Amino acid sequence: MLATGVIPNDRNRRLAKALKLELDELGYFKEKDPLLSPLETKVEGIYLCGGATGPIDIAESVVQATAASMKAVLSK
């Protein structure tokens, strides 16, 4: 299979600054703790999924989207 390289969006820095989020060394949004707090950020109520944290396949993206939406629902 051939796949093109994936790079973070140029606007991630501006969005990270506005939302007070951290970026990793590559320019993707950084999770609070990938093992203990997956999809969570250090900003309460903001969750990450899909390509926001780096290259990911469609199946995993769907799983992350479901998990992030459940975290958002249960946080209220």
pLDDT at 3: 65
Residue numbers of the domain that contains 49? 32-76
The token pair at 62 is: 């769907």
For the chain, how long is the longest CA-to-CA vector? 43
Q: Is residue 37 part of a domain?
A: yes
Number of folded domains that form the chain: 1
Asked, for residue 11, whether it belongs to a domain, the answer is no
Asked, for residue 15, whether it belongs to a domain, the answer is: no
Residue 50 domain-assigned (yes or no): yes
* Cβ contact 41:72 at 8 Å: no
Strand partners, 29: 23
Place of tokens 């969006």: 9
Model pTM? 0.87
What is the four-CA torsion angle of 17, 20, 25, 29, rounded to 10 degrees? -100
pLDDT band at 6 (very low <50, low <70, confident <90, very high): confident
Whether 75 has a pLDDT exceeding 90, the answer reads no
Task: Say whether pLDDT at 5 is over 90.
Answer: no
Residue 55 domain-assigned (yes or no): yes
Q: Work out the average pLDDT over 28-56.
A: 95
If one counts every other C-beta atom within 10 angstroms of the C-beta of residue 24, the result is: 13
Q: Report d(CA 66, CA 54) in Å as an integer.
A: 17
